[in-house]
Amino acid sequence: EILSCSSQQLILEEQAVSDGCYLIVSGVLEVWKKMPGEEYPFTGRYQVPDLSREQLAERFGSLISVHGSGAILFEQALVGENGVNPQSSIIAARNTVALVVRRDHLADARKIEPNLWFAPEEWLARDVLEVTRFERTEHQQR
């Protein structure tokens, strides 16, 4: 099986991004790295808190803006200090909820849920971060 992107895209609120925010994901985070001539081999998995969209909204209240549930692909992942080519690497968060938290609320968010997984700041380098939904499809052998 491979992951294929759909055409639907979610653009995070410009105000939230300009205020300096972090993404939080709930579920299982999987890192895939594309090598020349290959598909997207699995290279790592990180278990993060398994909270539903409703649970997150209830627990974090006014701290968050919920931008949708389901599987989400962060196309801006793995760029920045580590020097990984963004065209050859993606990070896939299956069955997750993506949230936006203002940077000045980060400490408060961690008090509510200390084990939340926060996206590194360098992933938000662009003015507007594009979050693309993706669906799991069966891999078709050539």
Burial of 138 (0-12, 13-18, 19+ CB in 10 A): exposed
Instruction: Domain of residue 28: give its range.
Output: 15-121
Has residue 22 been placed in a domain? yes
Rounded to 5 degrees, φ, ψ at 53 are -55, -45
Would 137 be classed as within a structural domain? no
Mean model confidence pLDDT for the chain:
42
pLDDT of residue 50: 53
Q: Is residue 112 situated within a structural domain?
A: yes
In a domain, 9, yes or no: no
User: pLDDT by residue (tens digit) across 80-118?
Assistant: 233 333 333 334 444 444 455 555 565 666 666 555 544
Instruction: List, for residues 74-89, the tens digit of each pLDDT value.
Output: 333 322 233 333 333 3
DSSP H or E stretch at residue 53: helix 53-60
Q: What is the pLDDT of residues 124-133, one digit of tens each?
A: 333 223 333 2
Q: Which residue has the tokens 């400490």?
A: 107
In a domain, 3, yes or no: no
- DSSP string spanning 4-35? EEEEEEEEPPHHHHHT-EEEEEEEEEEEEE--
Look at residue 139 and tell me if it is in a domain.
Answer: no
Q: How many CB atoms lie within 10 A of CB 120?
A: 14
pLDDT higher at 55 or 76: 55
The Cα 19–Cα 86 span in angstroms is: 24
Tally of domains within the chain = 1
Does residue 2 belong to any structural domain of this protein? no
| Domain contains 43 | yes
Amino acid identity of residue 23, one-letter, is L
> To the nearest whole percent, how much of the chain has pLDDT over 70?
0
